[in-house]
Amino acid sequence: MQNFNGNHCENDAQVLALVEDANILADKKMYQEAIGKYKEAWDLIPEPRNIHPLSTAVMSELMDVYFLVGHWSYAKEAVECAISCPGGCEDSFLRLRYGQILFDHGELNEAFKELKFAYGTAGFDIFRTEDPRYLDFLKARERV
All structural domains of the chain, each given as residue ranges with its CATH number in brackets, are 1-82 (1.25.40), 91-144 (no CATH)
Please name which of 78, 57, 47, 48 lies closest in space to residue 15, comparing C-alpha atoms. Answer: 57
Confidence of residue 35 (pLDDT cuts 50, 70, 90): very high
Cα–Cα separations (whole angstroms), residue 56 to 102, 105, 134 = 20, 23, 24
pTM comes to 0.86
Average the pLDDT over each of 2-6, 22-26, 55-59, 96-100 and give the range with the smallest value. 2-6
∠ CA 52-88-109, nearest 5°, is 145
Omega prior to 48 cis, within 30 of 0: yes
Task: Check if the beta carbon of residue 82 is closer than 8 Å to that of residue 48.
Answer: no
Position 6 scores a pLDDT of: 43
Q: For 100-126, how does the pLDDT look when each residue is reduced to its tens digit (9 = 90+)?
A: 999 999 999 999 999 999 999 999 999
Q: Considering the chain, what is the average pLDDT of its residues?
A: 92
